[in-house]
Chain A
């Protein structure tokens, strides 16, 4: 029971980090990333493959972060000049390509067999019975770090610039700002955070295969951002904890509702995610918490 709760809490932290990454890219920067799970998968695989080759876990994680950040920037450059609709399909297409590549290039990724035996950070220095607790603390330390970092970025001049490019790219351009560079940077930072989330995923399961990565992560992240309020990291944090905890916790319902099997419950859960997404867009478009704004002296 305790280990189940701990595992769920880790998953919530991972999904919330993904939600925060989306909040930076879409909430703050106005760049729809519909291929979230592809970058996440890339991070998980880079981390896992290096880790199982004997690279220290933390170094593998660092490499995963650098790779996803660089790849995110490159992908965003394909279409940041165009409207958001294009970025959404480009990121989705990229994610599908990542999944195909990892599923079929067996010499590198072992394909559908998956990568077993991923070593967690500090595995050598903590006794095995403490492994889960230490990893839980590790995941939450990352969540805290990501949250504080994003808050810092948002309140810095750079955050203001990002919001400006979102609200009116033409004005920002006219004021001499390089909109293209800003957007690529936003995408790269978001990608780095997805690299963090993916690495945590690999460490958490200690075995990864392509079936673990699906659009469910996308759905959770969009849900967290929309409910939390676009642009508000605190809102996303709150939404992550309530909504994703609720959704992940609903696995318990399988014991309570006997006439639905596991697959049906999973489908029902995602159906509710989809319907909920639409309902919030219609009825509570601003989400729980309003975006951070500089207070002007007068008000």
Chain B
């Protein structure tokens, strides 16, 4: 039981990064980014290229991959989302579906469909008060907490973070007050893609690197973001942890390959009962 909750916590933290990334983009750019799964995949492959291709150690490779991924995200924004600005959330959503398909198949085209793994040493799991803790789980917890802390500090205490919150709150008012929307959007894409890349690395450490990897996470990521109340970045993290633990506890009664169904059931129930998310403040307008 304790083991399940611990595993669920780690799974939840893993989902938290892309869920935060999704909610961040949603809150500022006002569309559901279906390319989030492909961004995760592309990030994992970029890091893989630096790690296994050039032989760099994983942390360094992750930094380099994150930088290239951020550049890619900015280029995609310039080419796709910026020209479509103001055309409504659904148009952007469908565009992001197109971007997702293109990215995933670019990966397939260049790297092939076979599964790969990062060049890391296999370590023996730790035992602590009867809990089995893998090396990857420690890496996941540390990375995610660090990333979340950085994003939270940026969001809470910097000029940029304040600008982001202002645009998310009311874009027109922010524009009137002279907040440069373009800079905020670029910053959002950089943070979002770095988070997706980190998530890709952690997913790849946990399992394999393959072109489908991001796609498999789309549903849990969206569910987590909706749990938190989409467009509410930090609550998405809490939503992810709740979802992770629920998924893990559900393995007591359901076969493990039905995790996706658990995520779907949680989402369906939530949308029927409390579509504003578990943690949304009651009574706030819009």
Q: Is the CB of A277 within 8 A of B260?
A: no
A273 within 8 A of B: yes
**Which stretch of B97-105, B196-204, B237-245 is in the interface?**
B97-105
B108 within 8 A of A: yes
Q: Is the CB of A104 within 8 A of B257?
A: yes
Q: Which residues between 96 and 154 of chain B lie within 8 Å of chain A, taking CB atoms?
A: 97-106, 108-109, 112-113
Given A96-B219, A100-B260, A274 contacting B91 (CB threshold 8 A): no
A126 within 8 A of B: no
CB distance from A284 to the nearest CB of B (A): 13
Contacts of A84 in B (CB 8 A): 89-90, 93
Q: Is the CB of A90 within 8 A of B94?
A: no
Contacts of B260 in A (CB 8 A): 93, 96-97, 100
Query: Residues of A within 8 Å of B, CB-based: how many?
Result: 43
Instruction: Encode contact with B along A266-281: 1 for CB under 8 Å, 0 otherwise.
Output: 1110110111111001
Q: Is the CB of B263 within 8 A of A277?
A: no
Q: Which residues between 45 and 75 of chain B lie within 8 Å of chain A, taking CB atoms?
A: none
B264 within 8 A of A: yes
Q: Is the CB of B102 within 8 A of A271?
A: yes
Q: Is the CB of B267 within 8 A of A89?
A: yes
Chain A residue at minimum C-beta to C-beta distance from B102? A274
Q: Is the CB of A100 within 8 A of B258?
A: yes
In the bound complex, how far is the Cα of B113 from the Cα of A281, in angstroms? 29
In the bound complex, how far is the Cα of B94 from the Cα of A288, in angstroms? 18
Q: Is the CB of A270 within 8 A of B105?
A: yes
B173 within 8 A of A: no
B80 within 8 A of A: yes
Q: Is the CB of A32 within 8 A of B90?
A: yes
List 7 extra interface pairs beyond A97-B264, A263-B108, A267-B109, CB under 8 A: A32-B90, A85-B230, A93-B219, A215-B101, A222-B98, A263-B112, A274-B100
In the bound complex, how far is the Cα of B91 from the Cα of A268, in angstroms? 24
In the A-B complex, the 3 residue pairs with the closest CB atoms:
A274-B102, A274-B101, A277-B98
Q: Is the CB of B108 within 8 A of A78?
A: no
Chain B residue at minimum C-beta to C-beta distance from A103? B257
Q: Is the CB of A268 within 8 A of B257?
A: no
Pick 18 A–B contacts, CB within 8 A, sort by A.
A84-B90, A85-B32, A86-B275, A88-B32, A88-B93, A90-B267, A90-B268, A93-B223, A100-B260, A104-B255, A222-B97, A226-B94, A274-B98, A274-B100, A274-B102, A274-B105, A281-B98, A282-B83
Chain B residue at minimum C-beta to C-beta distance from A280? B98
Q: Is the CB of A278 within 8 A of B264?
A: no
Chain A residue at minimum C-beta to C-beta distance from B258? A100
CB distance from A33 to the nearest CB of B (A): 11
Interface-centre pick from B95, B101, B230, B258 (highest chain A CB count, 10 A):
B101
A34 within 8 A of B: yes
Instruction: Encode contact with B along A75-113: 1 for CB under 8 Å, 0 otherwise.
Output: 000110111111011101110110011001000000000
CB distance from B112 to the nearest CB of A (A): 7
Q: Is the CB of B93 within 8 A of A267?
A: no
Contacts of A266 in B (CB 8 A): 108
Contacts of B103 in A (CB 8 A): 274
Q: Is the CB of A278 within 8 A of B87?
A: no
CB distance from B67 to the nearest CB of A (A): 24
